[in-house]
Structure 1
Amino acid sequence: MRRGCDVGEWRTDPTFAMCRALVDGAELSSFVGGPFDVRAVTAAIRPEATDGFLLDEVPWEHFPQGDHVREAVHLLHTGDSPLRTGTGVVSGMCANDMRAATVLAVPFLIRIAADTCHPHRADALAEVSSPARARHFGVASRNELLLHRTDTRDDTLYDDYGVEVTGYPAGWSVAAARAAITADTALLLPLLNDPSPATRIRAAYALATAADPDRTVRAAFRTRLGAEEDPIVRAALVLAAAETTRNHPHPPTTEWIRELWRDRTQAPEVRLAAAIGWLCLTDEPTPDDLCVAVDDLASDERAHAMDALPWMAAASRSGETGLRHCIREMLHPEQPDPAGYDDPWAANQSSRRLVGWGPRQQGGRGCQ
């Protein structure tokens, strides 16, 4: 399967005309709801097409590298080739900041994941939430961890998400992916009870991106936590509940998460996840007992084990686990970067802040 984006191929892509027009001064709002608005395109896919895997009904060709995404979905679904399964295409393109076409795959990936007999269901589930997140790798601060940037605007390309490497508005892709996941929460919720711990973690990670105004998803996380025995999965459910609560504030849930990190009967992984989640949900100064608990519980072995949580894996950096990075950013901001860490942006911090890419001022205060 081809990877990457050939320049000549990209310039013949239909969406290139839209992106070129935007560069030349066209209003983004003039493309809202049209054939290159991935939010409208995804919403218009017929349920019969997704349920029946009628891939030819989807206009993959409207978006950069859409043919590669279609092929990946086909290979995942059919398993025709033992050497080419389509695994990693969606997440790889998202890592390369090309999400638009991958969004169209989300409803199909969810159906593969929900099929308990499908040999590639775990691979599909691992890809589901990739288009629904952006600008989250290496993020570990109270202000930005677990944050859904809601300022997706139709009047400017330069909202909180900016543009993808192709010039496509990234906020449109993220919003479309989250809407697709929200539409299929009924298929994802049963996966919280799957026999595989990895599947339960990935289901929680995907569901945490869904809109949850009536708190159905959040209630499912708490219900599953009551039955869950695996400490890493329990930690995942806590982080998922915190992410949902950050984007749909609910003070009782914030207080519940606070009590979890204070509860000495909880597994250390749960208390650590709750401490990080609670810090992201409040601007209160960091309590001394939280600092003591986190520093006491966060052993190197546990920090590496918690990188099995996709939130922590995304927050990790070269030479530093995600948990350690979160603790340093949130509780010990005076500590330097780990030895050997090379920040390519360090020489240009001021310009990063001007465009909203640099670290923001932390809420509350760190440990004293």
Structure 2
Amino acid sequence: MTGQDWEDDPAYREVVRAFVDGDPLNQVDGPLDVRAVVAGIHPKAKGGFLLEEVPWDRFPEGARVREVMERMRSGDDAAVDRALGVLIGLCADDMRAAVAPAVPFLIRIGTGPEAGYRAEALTVVGEAARMRHQGVCTRADMLRFRDDDEWSFEVTGYLQNWSVQAARGAIAADTDLLLPLLDDPDHAVRIATAYVLAAASDRAQDVLTAFRARLLAEHNPAARAGLVLAIAQLARAHQDLETIAWMQAYWSDPSRSPEVRASAALGWLCLTDLPVPNELRATVDDVATDETALLMAPLPWIRAVETAVGNGLHRCLRSMLDPDMTDIEGCDDPWS
């Protein structure tokens, strides 16, 4: 959309009037509050995929999102792939207000029989539920949702905190639909489901119990690592201090697999600002090998911090263990 197109778009003009020129708090529970819009989608509309019952055009690019959601039901794999690309692109471009109303429908695609793209649909849900986090790999910020912190605005002027809260609320409302997917035969679906459920704004204890139960049964190494990161992010969001000790027990246990210990080390680092113990540094030296980094690369948390010349696991650990050092991309020694 060009600059002139933006100026001519009624939704964009209304958002600017309400959120840039006006006080966002005046919009609470009103027609421009995407949290209220998503929460107000009737269960029959969700189950019946009744897109016409959602006021898409209140939000910039919302009409476009409705169009691509129509393609999601077309059965045409190429059309579905393009539609998912549009939705991911809008999240990457900080336009989540348009995508948030699609979350309940994407969840039903993810929990339905469309085996070819269920994981991808769920990944879009997970991205809609997180503020921009590409490249973020510090202890303070990697697993922090930040949707309740200082206000942040999307490129359209919309309050991004509300977009993320809307998506997280939709996930919480559909927790019972999502939990069974932790046992899905497809490990990519299991990973995407953990990514989504880690963002649930409510029912944290139910989700945590399911994560830990699945971890005991999980045989896929990447899915195991993803579950540990999901447990850490859920704990961060809901201030579950007991998980800090749980993470330490896992990274310090030599009987655990390398990817689980590496993920637990990352989780521990993100859950506390305590000085890094020498034992953790030694553990990382031992388990965070190139093989482990390659195994964990597809995880959405790790993929978000990868660069063209540096893998995500090593970049995160380097940043967290030696934050005062320059982040030199492409260095042969990941700890140098």
Tell me whether the two structures share a fold, i.e. TM-score over 0.5.
Answer: yes
Q: 1:185 aligns with which of 172, 175, 179?
A: 175
How far does the alpha carbon of each residue in 1:130-158 deviate from its partner, in whole angstroms, 9 at most, with x for none?
11111311111111111021435xxxxxx
Match of residue 49, structure 2, among 48, 53, 62: 53
C-alpha contact 2:65 2:102 (8 A) present in aligned 1 = yes
- Aligned residue for 1:122, secondary structure, equals helix
Aligned mate of 1:97, from 79, 94, 97: 94
CA distance in 2, matches of 1:133, 1:37: 18
- Counterpart position of 1:346: none
The residue identity in structure 2 corresponding to 1:44 is G
In angstroms, what is the RMSD of aligned CA positions?
1.9
Find the counterpart in structure 2 of residue 353 from structure 1: none
Q: 2:207 aligns with which of 199, 203, 217?
A: 217
CA distance in 2, matches of 1:122, 1:327: 27
Contact residue 13 and residue 62 of structure 1 kept, 8 A: no
Distance in 2 (alpha carbons) for counterparts of 1:19 and 1:61: 11
Structure 1 residue ranges, 4+ long, deviating more than 6 angstroms after superposition: none
1:137 to 130, 134, 139: 134
CA shift at 1:117, angstroms?
4.6
**Deviation at 1:307?**
1.0
Alignment partner, residue 237 of structure 2: 247
- 1:344 is matched with none
Separation of aligned partners in 2, 1:177 and 1:117: 22
TM-score computed with the length of structure 2 as normaliser: 0.93
CA contact (8 A) 2:310 2:330 kept: no
CA distance in 1 between counterparts of 2:139 and 2:231 reads: 16
The answer to whether the 8 Å contact 1:319/1:338 transfers is: no
State the alpha-carbon separation in 2 of the partners of residues 99 and 56 from structure 1.
Answer: 19
The 10-residue stretch of structure 1 (37-46 or 112-121) with the greater mean CA deviation from structure 2: 112-121
The Cα shift of 1:168 comes to: 1.0
Q: Give SS of 1:292's match.
A: helix
- Aligned to 1:41, what secondary structure does the other structure show? helix
Alignment-derived partner of residue 112 in structure 2: 115
Q: Give the Cα separation in 2 of the matches to 1:6 and 1:181.
A: 33
**Equivalence map 1:189-338=2 (5 Å):** 189-212=179-202, 214-338=204-328
1:166 Cα deviation (Å)? Answer: 0.9
Shift of the alpha carbon at 1:116?
Answer: 3.1
Residue matched to 1:75: 71
Structure 1 residues 287 and 340, CA gap change in structure 2 (3 angstroms): closer
| Structure 2 gap ranges (5+) | none
Between the aligned partners of 2:31 and 2:254, the Cα distance in structure 1 is 54
1:169-184 correspondence to structure 2 within 5 Å: 169-184=159-174
1:84 corresponding residue in structure 2: 79
CA distance, structure 2, for counterparts of residue 258 and residue 30 of structure 1: 45
Separation in structure 2 between the aligned mates of residue 172 and residue 24 of structure 1, nearest angstrom: 15
- CA drift of 1:322 comes to 1.1
Give 1:62 deviation, angstroms: 1.0
Q: Deviation of residue 212 (structure 1)?
A: 3.6
Distance in 2 of aligned mates of 1:339 and 1:108: 39
Mapped contact 1:90–1:130 kept (Cα < 8 A): no
- Work out the CA distance in 1 between the residues paired with 2:304 and 2:110: 22
After TM superposition, the score normalised by the length of structure 1 is 0.85
**AA in 2 matched with 1:285:** P
Answer whether contact 2:123 2:195 (CA < 8 A) is retained: no
CA contact (8 A) 2:94 2:132 kept: no
Q: How many residues align?
A: 330
Where does 1:4-19 land on structure 2 (aligned, <5 Å)?
Answer: 5-19=1-15
Rounded Cα–Cα distance in structure 2 between residues aligned with 1:59 and 1:238: 37
Structure with the largest fraction of helix: 2
